[in-house]
Structure 1
């Protein structure tokens, strides 16, 4: 039996199920179970679970009449990649290409890793519809391939044809550092990434005016931070259970940097960052950034009787 990425499978010799998240070789697949662990399994020890989820095609199901009516959603028209969390396997994510336009999308997806290419998906996605194009484990984010989307839009309407789109995307931890949200049309939570967005047009006059803003005007655009900034991940994100360690660190450092910059803008005398003790990684990163900042006079452990060694006090010049 031939399996593909995203198939939901069951183990033959034990009571366990999961998603195919890696093609190891012709005889072995990586299957991520409901606990989020990816297990190498022989193809001969797997069987498909028919009728489960979106990765299995319905047989003999009546085809709905296609009507080009936009979904009731606040999503702006465009072409999106919806990366959805799996409800059963915590580390697994499913990539859905969402066609939020009045045109039909002809799509190919090719993946590339270390100069080796694989055709992963091709198909037609009707107007205001979506299709599952890929599945993977978030735990393997650092070894994900680079994605190459080739998109052609077709319509019978009397409009000028849109040039074909080629989008190359290498996913990083920062792509999943934002809060997960409800995905339109999927009844799932995850991240929505627009693929056809054009680069913003820079207004030269507004750019020029921004250089001459007074310091008081600039202050108004930066919120005044708290005197004590708690960087524990559970204080910053409700979905921290789904995040890998490197993703948490990126979020914590971004929050730290924003608060530090805001304290400088508002001429703080000092500020305290609560980073916890832990393994010391966050503390070391913060101290490295602080030591190179020209606006900082000194820094030290903050109130050991209150924070032990889990906080740093920064004193500005």
Structure 2
């Protein structure tokens, strides 16, 4: 939907509305609200209720004049691209941390149309960030860098669906800053990789309170409670102990797949529902299968991004429904090999996946 200065609009995800004053870029406009403030707003969060000039066309047609040329809009800076996170009471809490979000423009038809990509700072600290993409040849391109205030999100880019593969893998680096505090967090540098086929599965998109309950694919860059601080390093210096060299203190956040590691670059994931949930007695068979498939896809994607070479998924014997569902999804992945795990250890209840791209 194209917006023009003068269009009267309504906010889709909150009450109220206003008048478009200018186009910031292809996916964001400035909206003047009743109290006179102008708010940068994504076009995907607006609907036109009265196009510009509708109310006075009948009076001006006879006196039309050539309008003076519009001044060239300045290139959007970081303040144009950022907006505050607006959470609502009663929403499921999201752990404090940094997140990537892929938000479809069309919230009715998730698997078609353009997407907005956000870097979300869901912490009480400001951050400095660097964002890199990795191409098919393994080379990295620096796409963006800058700062994001606490409890805010930044629109990295709006992409067409055909560019998803280019935006599904890379590196994010984060530095945390607060004016005062009891500790200083270590820098974060982490890789990310999201399988392109996930964007074409309706169940991949979940409502997120950090995005006004819009549906999105969310990727956890890091959770705040998993990042160590420099406190231990400072205490060591005060007590005259040997300190750890700064070059060795860069923090790479623990990966979800690391919890299942059984050997260097190898993991074993038990998909029995009793291993995934403490309370599952009231779940239907379909709900259980959905949970198991979700864990399987997240752990496999994580293993591929974290340079694992081998993962065993224990599915059990049962009626074969889960095993077949795993095999069906594995067909979407290239450069991996899957087979029955060693019978002597797992019987017929596990599948072994070899990730050749990480060999």
Name the TM-score, length of structure 1 as normaliser. 0.45
Name the TM-score, length of structure 2 as normaliser. 0.41
